[in-house]
Amino acid sequence: MVRDQDTERLREMVAEECADYKKRLLQQPVDVLWDSCHEILFYTSVAEYFREKKDIRKHYVKRLLCERKPIYAMWKVYLKYEDLVFQTWEEIDVILERMTALAGGTKEEGIGQWILNKS
């Protein structure tokens, strides 16, 4: 399967964001790490999704390329909606679908900013 440039760019963004997140976390005290376990699992699951999944939908890619920190934007959506889970790729697809639906006409701002404006 041939990967397109946008998908590759997104994969690189996600890998970089995940590496930066890990670096920041490792500088934190143990109690902060402990309190961050759920978020760490989220970042790890989403990073695996983008690293391994071969058929990421184009509208997800377009949506996430609007974000400076795609995983963080997904995390904010996950926290906002209690019905979302992330243990499987299908469940991560649901988060991405929700993000895409929420984005509406705010492509320039990104979902993170959109959520802040709606809260």
* pLDDT, tens only, 27-65: 999 999 999 999 999 999 999 999 999 999 999 999 999
Does 59 or 116 have the greater pLDDT score? 59
Mean pLDDT of the chain: 87
Average pLDDT over residues 61-75: 96
What is d(CA 27, CA 24) in angstroms, rounded to the nearest whole number?
A: 5
Q: What is the pTM for the complete model shown?
A: 0.81
Dihedral angle of Cα 65, 20, 87, 93, to the nearest 10 degrees: 0
Closest CA to 72 of 14, 32, 26: 14
Domains of the chain: total? 1
Average pLDDT over residues 14-31: 96
Q: Which residues span the domain enclosing 53?
A: 5-118
pLDDT-derived band at 107 (thresholds 50, 70, 90) equals very low
Q: Provide the pLDDT for residue 3.
A: 56
What is d(CA 76, CA 61) in angstroms, rounded to the nearest whole number?
A: 17
Neighbours of 110 (CB within 10 A): 21
pLDDT-derived band at 76 (thresholds 50, 70, 90) equals very high
Neighbours of 107 (CB within 10 A): 13
Q: Provide the pLDDT for residue 37.
A: 95
Dihedral angle of Cα 3, 45, 83, 25, to the nearest 10 degrees: -120
Dmax (CA) for the chain in angstroms is: 44
Q: Provide the pLDDT for residue 103.
A: 83
